[in-house]
Amino acid sequence: MREPWVVGVTGASGTPYAAAVLRALFDADRPVDLIVSRAARLTILDETKSPFRDAHWRADLDAWIGRKTAQGDVRYWPAGDLAAGPSSGSYPTSGMLVVPASTASCAGIALGLSKDLLQRAAEVNLKERRPVVMVPRETPVTRSHLEHLIALHDAGATVLPASPGFYAAGAAASAEQLVDFIAGKVLDAVGVPHTLFSRWSGQLGAH
Ligand SMILES: Cc1cc2nc3c(=O)[nH]c(=O)nc-3n(C[C@H](O)[C@H](O)[C@H](O)COP(=O)(O)O)c2cc1C
């Protein structure tokens, strides 16, 4: 049975994090169901200068992540399609990764608003007690942001802020290394193998 990871990309800054997670899932031969929120089209356009269109999703995805996905197992569901597979708990998935996660999507999922397929799919994976990883990207935060993250934690999600450590590559880490650090932590959280960063060896300054 196909049990994809649902990857939800919201309109928070940080589309490179999503691209790195998608590449790593493909590298690990894991099937992916992709949902891109309406607002994420703006951040993808802003951060990559490329559009993301439902009708051209495969070509736009390839341009965005810099990879030919033709051979990969990826299924795309428009964010407005509330009848899509991941809108039901009977649709098999391994779980869901929301990367990056806007404050709006954190609030919507914490409150169960299901205002689009992305929020509905996250709620479904939580209610089915499947792994859900939320990668919030906002700073500074309000009390309500924090309360929504606590609600998500209590509902079973792993809250994994886009807050890269420098210990894997040192103070001269490139932006790509910092992005890969977060993507690697996302994959660690759900037990998918990767080589995105060097692990702590127990020795200071070993990088
Ligand atoms: C260029 C751009 C950058 C944004 N960056 C962030 C961000 O870092 N964090 C955040 O929570 N919202 C950010 N937003 C606002 C969200 O896109 C907005 O709240 C939207 O309603 C989120 O909808 P979604 O969760 O359905 O994707 C940004 C918007 C734009 C246009």
Cα-to-centroid distance, 199 and ligand 1 (Å)? 31
Q: Which atom of ligand 1 is nearest to the CA of 119?
A: 26
200 found inside a domain: no
Q: What is the pLDDT of residue 161?
A: 98
pLDDT reported for residue 87: 98
**Domain-located, residue 161:** yes
For ligand 1, atom 25, name the residue with the nearest CA: 105
Tell me, yes or no, whether 160 lies in a domain: yes
Q: What is the CATH number of the domain that holds 59?
A: 3.40.50.1950
Q: Does any domain span residue 47?
A: yes
Ligand 1 centroid to 21 CA: how many Å? 19
Q: What is the dihedral of CA 45, 120, 33, 86, to 10 degrees?
A: -150
Assess if residue 178 is contained within a domain. Answer: yes
Contact 109, 26 (CB under 8 A): no
Split into its structural domains, the chain has a count of 1
pTM over 0.75: yes
Q: Mind listing the pLDDT tens digit for each residue in 142-158? A: 999 999 999 999 999 99
Encoding tokens for residue 129? 């007690």
In a domain, 57, yes or no: yes
What is the maximum span of the chain, computed from C-alpha positions, in angstroms?
52
pLDDT tens figures, 14-34: 999 999 999 999 999 999 999
Residue 36, SS3?
A: strand
Mean pLDDT confidence for 129-146: 98
**Contact 177/168 with Cβ under 8 angstroms?**
yes
User: Quick one: pLDDT at residue 207?
Assistant: 85
Q: Examine residue 199 and state whether it is found in any structural domain, yes or no.
A: no
pLDDT tens digits for 153-191? 999 999 999 999 999 999 999 999 999 999 999 999 999
Structural domain including 72 reads 5-189
| Region of 31 on the Ramachandran plot (φ > 0 left; ψ -120 to 50 alpha; else beta) | beta
Binding pocket residue ranges, ligand 1, CB within 6 Å: 10-13, 37, 39-40, 42-43, 46, 102-105, 137-138
Q: How far apart are CA 13 and CA 23, in angstroms?
A: 18
Atom of ligand 1 nearest to the CA of 102: 11
Kindly report, residue by residue over 58-80, the tens digit of the pLDDT: 999 999 999 998 767 999 999 99
Residue 197 lies inside a defined structural domain of this protein: no
The 3-state DSSP class for residue 107 equals helix
Give the model confidence (pLDDT) of 101-115 as tens digits.
Answer: 999 999 999 999 999
Residue nearest to atom 6 of ligand 1 (CA): 12
